[in-house]
Amino acid sequence: MLREELDRLYTDYEEEDLKKIQLSKCISYGDLVMKGIIRDNDKFANTEVIVLSLYRNVLELLDGLYLLVDHNSKSSSIVVLRSLFEASANFSYLLIDHAKIEERANFYYVGFAMEEIKACKKTLSLDRKGILSAEKLQKKIDDHNKNLNGYQQKNYNEWKRQKNKLVKIRNNSDVHSNWYSVFNGPRSLKQLSERVNLKDVYDLIYSNFSLEAHGFVSLDGIRLIEDGGVQFQPLRSIDTLQMPIYLGTRLFSMCTAYLLKTYLKDQLEDFNIFFDEITKYFD
């Protein structure tokens, strides 16, 4: 069982770090899940590679969140939490309908390819001193174009159709459609969050935490004192950042449950027990 492997990793820590440790345990559990899927499968199709890549991105962001909350860095943790939310919503939409996983994985690739082509072209136009490898950037563009005009051509044509619709609506030829918008998918991150049952998290992160994420709380970090001087607030919070930790574990739980249901069903019971143990620290 994955829990048994995890227990050997966490044997000695301070009582005050209990909540932070739960976040760290989630990261380690997710890493074991990925290793289990790789161990149990000999060959992987493009779909599985895309799914695992997105899940790894979720874990990577969760790891970044853990590092920041471990240092009680409130503002920075909120910025990473927003990225984690978006990655989790994308991942969940990819797996929420088993019959559409392959189709959605293909559209995710098309969206990713178009964004990377756009970024590479812009970099090539700006990098006049040759700091970056023009050859590598051009190869990325060529490889994506080969795929888009080859085995992904049908999906690419639909992506272009969606883009043309957005161009007319927004009167902006440079706009790119979200990968999840094709075939009448959600049109915005808000709609996406509704589809994957994360509307409450969306409202919290993009309402309550928006000012913090966009840097509009900068003036809260300094205040005038009686003699006309100023006093800086501590860079790090004196309190444990319970909300980012809780939301991080919740997003992890959702993504991992979808992954296990799809590729490692025999570990679901173990995972449910593991997560019950995690959530008792947030009651």
pLDDT at position 243 is 86
Lowest mean pLDDT among 47-51, 185-189, 238-242: 238-242
φ and ψ at 237, to 5 degrees?
A: -65, 145
Q: 148 pLDDT band (50/70/90 cuts)?
A: very high
Q: In the predicted model, what is the mean pLDDT of residues 155-166?
A: 86
Structural domain boundaries of the chain?
A: 1-96+196-283, 99-187
- Cα 259 from Cα 63, distance rounded (Å): 18
Q: 157 pLDDT band (50/70/90 cuts)?
A: very high
Pick from 36, 17, 4, 62: nearest CA to 254: 62
**Cα-atom radius of gyration of the chain, to the nearest Å?**
22
pLDDT at position 3 is 65
pLDDT at position 228 is 65
Burial of 156-177, coded b for 16+ CB within 10 Å and e otherwise, reads bebbeebbeebeeeeeeeeeeb
Summarize pLDDT for 171-181 with one digit per residue, the tens: 777 777 788 98
pLDDT at position 206 is 79
Q: 257 pLDDT band (50/70/90 cuts)?
A: very high
pLDDT at position 280 is 83
Tokens of 40: 């149990």
| Contact present, 104 and 94 (Cβ < 8 Å) | yes
- Cα 46 from Cα 50, distance rounded (Å): 6
Please give the residue that has the higher pLDDT: either 181 or 12: 181
Question: In this structure, how many other beta carbons lie within 10 angstroms of the beta carbon of residue 95?
Answer: 23
| Contact present, 155 and 185 (Cβ < 8 Å) | no
Summarize pLDDT for 93-129 with one digit per residue, the tens: 999 999 999 999 999 999 999 999 988 988 888 866 6
- Cα 121 from Cα 127, distance rounded (Å): 10
* Helix-, strand-, coil-residue percentages of the chain, each rounded to 5: 75, 0, 25
pLDDT at position 143 is 95
Q: 68 pLDDT band (50/70/90 cuts)?
A: very high
